[in-house]
Structure 1
Amino acid sequence: MLLNVSYNNKEITRKIDDEVGKPFTLKERWALSGIGSPKLVITETSIEIRNLLVLDNNRDVCNVEMRPKGIIVRFRSLLETFALIIPYYKLTIYKGDFAVYSIYRDNHFIKVRSDTKAVQKFFKKILDYKADNSPTSIEDL
């Protein structure tokens, strides 16, 4: 789900919380050693996201926030902030050649450069958290 999150809208906040859960508490953030990624340089995207990014001449960057039931990938275009909301059951991450991570949800994808150890460590944290907290059967949903 791709949303404009520039403005404080209760309906959009409710949609995000329903999809990926409420933000972690401070204690949980501390236990996870942080829930946000470093700045990620975007190398390639799906067409809908690309159409938003080409509107300005700024460097295409994003960041990823972990939530209890998914992740939020945020990026800016012009003066607006957009978020790609991805629950863990729809999240697919690939590590490609030349230090690139691909984040997929249905027909949306974002490929980011992973040229530092911090980025690689963060994606490992996401995959480990997803594996530990994913439902093991349909009854767990």
Structure 2
Amino acid sequence: MLLNVSYNNAEIKEKINTEVGKAFTLVERIKMDGIGSGKLFITTTSIEIHNLLILDKYINTCGIEMRPDGIIVTFRSLLETYALIIPYYKLKLYKGRAEEYSIYRDNYFIKIKADTKNVHNFMKKLLDYKAEHWTSRENNL
């Protein structure tokens, strides 16, 4: 689900929380040694996201936030902020070439440059969290 999250809208926050869970508490963030990716450079996207990104001339960047039940990939276009909401059960993460990761949800995708060790470490943390916590939640349902 691709949403405009520029404005403080209770309905949109509720959709996000329903889809990927509420944000981690401060204590959980500290125990996890952070839940955000930092700035990631976008190399390629699906057509819907591409049409938003070409509206301005700036370098295309995004950030990933981990949530209990999924991730949120945020990026800016013009003065608006957009979020691609991906629950873990729809998340497909591929490591392409040595310098690129592909993040898929249904017909949306974003490919990011992985030119630093921090990007690789964050993706490993994301996959480890998904493997440990999401599979145990599915078994309890």
TM-score clears 0.5? yes
Are residue 36 (structure 1) and residue 36 (structure 2) matched? yes
Q: 2:111 aligns to what?
A: 111
Instruction: Name the CA distance, whole Å, in 1 between partners of 2:99 and 2:115.
Output: 6
1:96-126 CA-partner distances (Å, limit 9, x unpaired): 0141000000000000000000000000000
Q: CA deviation at 1:36?
A: 0.4
Are residue 102 (structure 1) and residue 102 (structure 2) matched? yes
Q: 1:22 aligns to what?
A: 22
Instruction: Give the TM-score normalised by structure 2.
Output: 0.97
Q: 2:68 aligns to what?
A: 68
Q: CA deviation at 1:133?
A: 1.0
Structure 2 CA distance for partners of 1:117 and 1:137, relative to 1, 3 Å: closer
Structure 2 CA distance for partners of 1:15 and 1:134, relative to 1, 3 Å: same
User: Over aligned residue pairs, what C-alpha RMSD do you find?
Assistant: 1.2
Q: 2:50 aligns to what?
A: 50
Q: 1:91 aligns to what?
A: 91
My pick for the range that moved more, 116-125 or 127-136, is 127-136
Aligned partner of residue 119 in structure 2, secondary structure: helix
Instruction: Name the CA distance, whole Å, in 1 between partners of 2:57 and 2:124.
Output: 31
Moved over 6 A (4+): none
Structure 2 CA distance for partners of 1:24 and 1:136, relative to 1, 3 Å: closer
Instruction: Name the CA distance, whole Å, in 2 between partners of 1:71 and 1:126.
Output: 9
* Structure 1: tracts of 5 or more residues without a match: none
Aligned length: 141
My pick for the range that moved more, 126-135 or 39-48, is 126-135
Q: CA deviation at 1:134?
A: 1.6
Instruction: Give the TM-score normalised by structure 1.
Output: 0.97
* Structure 2: tracts of 5 or more residues without a match: none
Q: CA deviation at 1:136?
A: 5.2
The one-letter code matched in structure 2 to 1:39 is K
Q: CA deviation at 1:135?
A: 3.3
